[in-house]
Every structure is written in C-alpha cells, then in structure tokens.
Chains A and B, each alone.
Chain A
Amino acid sequence: MPPRAMSEGAPTGELSPERRRAVLRQSWSVGIATGLYGVSFGALSVAAGLNLWQTQALSALMFTGGSQFALVGIVGTGGLAAAPAAIATATMLSIRNGLYALSTRRFLLTGAAHTPVVRTAAAAHLTIDESSAVGLAQPEPQAARLGFWHTGVAVFLFWNLMTLVGALAGSVIGDPATWGLDGAAVAAFLALLWPRLKAADARLTAAVATVLALVMVPFVPAGVPVLIAAVAAVVIGIRGGTTGRLADPPDPRTDGDPIP
C-alpha cells in the first residue's frame, strides 16, 4: 500500500529536480501503459455496434475505462433496448471515481473556495484509477498534484489516441465473433475485476453477484442481470465486515497492469 499523501497544511516548497523527474517518469509510464489498451476498447466498441464518433465520445467525455467497457458490452448484447441498463451500470461503475475525489481533493483543492471552477471540473474529469493512485502514492502535496495531473493528462491523450486506432482497425475486420472479439470482451472484464478481488468481502461479493446474474439471465431483459448483480454489493456492504482501507484505487505499480 502506498503511503497516503499528506494533506492540507503540510509544508510546501519546491520539489527537488530528481523528485520531480521521478514523479513525471512514473506518471507518463503509467499513462502510456494504460493508454495503449484503449485499442481494445476502440475495437470492442465498434464491434458492439457503436460508430466511430460514439466510440470516441466515450473515451473523450466519459473517460473511465470500466464504465466504457460496460456500456458497449451491454449495448452490444442487448441493443438499444438495453441502453437504460447500460447507462445505469456505467454510472454505478464510475461511483468509485467520486470516492477517489474525496481523497484527491485534499491536495488538489488548495482552499476550496478559491479553486476556479474550470480547474475543479478538469480535475474531476481526470479523476480515474491511475491518476488517483499515482497522486495518492506521493508523500508530498506538490508531488501528489504533479503526479495526478500528469498521469491524468497522459492517460487521456494515449487512451483517446489508441481508441481511435482500435475503432479504425475494428471497423475493417468484419464479424467480431469470427475474430474472437467476444472472447476478448470476456477476458477484458475479468482483467478489470481481478485486482479488486484481494479483499475477502470483494471475493464474496463477486461470487454472489455471479450467482444472481446467472439465475436472472433467463427471466429479465439484457442488461438487467448486471443491475441485479449489484444487489450483492449492497447486501454484503451493509452487513459489514473487514474491507481494509476503503476506496483505494488499484495501485498500477503493485497490481500488475494499471486498470482504467
């Protein structure tokens, strides 16, 4: 677990050039590594029936990978009729970003009343797993700010660029099933879930959610089984137990590949 960033009131000063370089190196390597698999999102999105503009809009405006994969996955299987369930699932998956914001705001909003609204909006838009993880991992507030912004911008640039590459490639290869793109989607969701299964109650939640979704598939429209699976989190979360530290983003340095 990374040390928590010291929050408001910590002494400020210039970062040494070495520290600054180290933070920038970490930020951009995470950004490039994460951005690269925007190519898989782009390809899966057009395979699911979204056009190039819709695909690119998701990477530019939604900009949170798990939600993007979920939206196109559900629309891909359920069509337009499943759109409300797809929107609800994508939104619920993004709630964790709001939880990260509760932590990152301590070093990003220096005197909340004076932070320009544009700056706050930009910070909000860039608040994802990677930018939060790199920011929160820095012990000094200046390094935390530097790491958050650079990681956020780096992921944004490469994620959008590679989405475009994937969407263009995906639109020329034809029937996605022949190429195993449905298998790629399954693998991608499992890879997104994997780093979240370290805590025992997360594993229990995933197991209960799996059973709920399996049981509901024959009885409810496409997309809805996923919403019903969310009940597992509500029931197990309310029952309580030991979650360890709450709302920590997966750490891109210790959890294998970063997850958007």
Chain B
Amino acid sequence: MTLTTAVLVACALAFATKAVGYVVPPRLVEGERTMRVSTLLPAALLAGLIVVQTVADGPALVLDARIGALVVAALLLWRGAGFITVVIAGAVTAALLRLIGLG
C-alpha cells in the first residue's frame, strides 16, 4: 500500500461513516449499548493517541520534551485556553526544552 492509497482509502471510509447516518434506518444503530460505545470511542482513541505521541519511541517508552508539552497543554486547557494557543504552547515548550538540553 502506498501512502496515497492509504490516504484515499481512509477518506472513503470516513465518508462512509458519515453517510451511513443518513441512509440506515435509525432503529439499526440506536441500540443503547451501540450508542454508548460509539460515544465513548473518541475519548478512548484520543487518549491512546496521546500516550503514543507523548512517550513512545518505536517500541520503547521514553520521557523527553514531549511530556513537558503535554503538561503545559493540560495547564492551559484547564485555564480555558483556546486550541491554537494550546498547540503553539506545546510546540514552544518542546522546542525550548530541547534547546536547554532536556529531551
């Protein structure tokens, strides 16, 4: 699989997940458990992504500048900062920590 193929397959599947909500009889998907699992999925996946993006280096677990970025992002979100502010602060934190030789 080339990267372009992967991108296009993922795009097609994302469209399918959206379209299915318009074409299926709601009865089929409105089971309480199905709805609960689907509602919780983003929280689980995003938490998993945060772990991998923060402490994984291939198969190794490492503590480096990224953990600093995560902590700063959490503090800012807790203080009600907006998305762009949080993202830029994450980048600046990681860059500064590396500059002073941490991570």
Contact = CB atoms under 8 A, between A and B. Distances in A.
Given A186-B54, A246-B39, A233 B13 contact: no
Contacts of A80: 1-3, 6
Contacts, number: 337
Nearest to B49: A189
A89 B9 CA distance: 13
B101 interface: no
A167 interface: no
Contact of A61 (B2, B15, B35, B40): B15
A198 B70 CA distance: 19
Given A187-B72, A196-B46, A237 B40 contact: yes
A22 interface: no
A190 B81 CA distance: 12
Interface residues of A, number: 109
Contacts of A63: 14
Nearest to B23: A120
Contacts of A37: 83-84, 87
Contact of A124 (B6, B22, B52): B22
A101 interface: yes
Given A187-B73, A187-B91, A190-B77, A209 B52 contact: no
A64 B8 CA distance: 14
A190 B86 contact: yes
Nearest to B81: A256
A172 interface: no
A232 B49 CA distance: 13
B74 interface: yes
A186 B46 CA distance: 10
Interface in A90-128: 90-102, 104-105, 108-109, 120-121, 123-125, 127
Contacts of A94: 13-14, 17-18
A206 interface: yes
14 contacts: A61-B15, A69-B49, A90-B13, A109-B22, A120-B22, A124-B22, A183-B93, A186-B53, A187-B90, A192-B46, A213-B47, A230-B45, A236-B40, A259-B83
Interface of A: 36-37, 40, 49-50, 53-54, 57-58, 61-64, 66-67, 69-71, 73-75, 77, 80, 83-84, 86-87, 89-102, 104-105, 108-109, 120-121, 123-125, 127, 177-194, 196-197, 201-203, 205-210, 212-214, 217-219, 222-223, 225-234, 236-238, 240, 243, 246-247, 256-259
